[in-house]
Chains A and B, each alone.
Chain A
Amino acid sequence: MLEAALSILIVVGAIFTLIGSLGLARMPDFYSRLHGPTKATTLGVGSLLIASMIYFSTQDDGISFHEILVTLFLFITAPVSAHLLSKAALHLRVKSLVAPPREVEEADAGECK
């Protein structure tokens, strides 16, 4: 029973990780590519970490919970890196399927002398 649950968690986590990378590989522009890794990959690795936590807690003596730390860390840092990457892409005017709002370009033009 436990083993089945663990197996499902592991396979689902790996599938989400793959979907995240698939999004990175096949989406047409940078801003759409950003979505796969920030959401699907984070959730996939989170699911793997929870599986690892359950496995080591039931395996030998004592519970194991430091996996929570990495999960939390990933869930906090993924949106931060996504925001910074997106900001950098807007700054460099990476080509996009739709035009970014006018405010961005105006502020950016003012910022760089």
Chain B
Amino acid sequence: MLSTALAIAFGLVTAAMALTLWRLLRGPDQPDRILALDTLYVNSIALLVLLGIHLGSELYFEAAILIAMMGFVGTVALCKYLLRGDIIE
């Protein structure tokens, strides 16, 4: 039962990533693309967590934490760039 649920979840999250990627490529504005990139980070955390359950390994967790942090910092840096035209003031 768990493996069926995992298979369905993998499919759904992959579909979510495909939709996000479509928005990332299509734009139309810079904030749209940044938002799509941020969502892609969160979706990849979901994918890593599912992979961790599927393979029964907790190692993927460290990767998920790193992606969560780097994704947030990246989004903030890009927004700062849009707001000020500069990242480090």
Main secondary structure of the interface of A (DSSP, over half): helix
Count residues of B near A (Cβ-Cβ below 8 Å): 48
Q: In the assembled complex, which residues on chain B have CB atoms less than 8 Å from the CB atom of A55?
A: 53
Complex: how many Å from CA A2 to CA B39?
30
Main secondary structure of the interface of B (DSSP, over half): helix
Q: In the assembled complex, which residues on chain B have CB atoms less than 8 Å from the CB atom of A66?
A: 61, 65
A74 to chain B, nearest CB (A): 6
Interface contact B76-A49, CB-CB below 8 Å: no
Besides the known contacts A11-B5, A14-B12, A89-B31, 9 further A-B residue pairs in the complex with CB atoms under 8 A apart: A4-B1, A18-B16, A34-B35, A37-B39, A52-B53, A66-B65, A85-B34, A85-B38, A87-B79
User: Taking beta carbons and an 8 Å cutoff, which residues of A are in contact with B?
Assistant: 3-4, 6-8, 10-11, 13-15, 17-18, 20-22, 24-25, 30, 33-34, 37, 41-42, 44-45, 48-49, 51-52, 55-56, 59, 64, 66-67, 69-70, 73-74, 77-78, 80-81, 84-85, 87-89, 91-92, 94
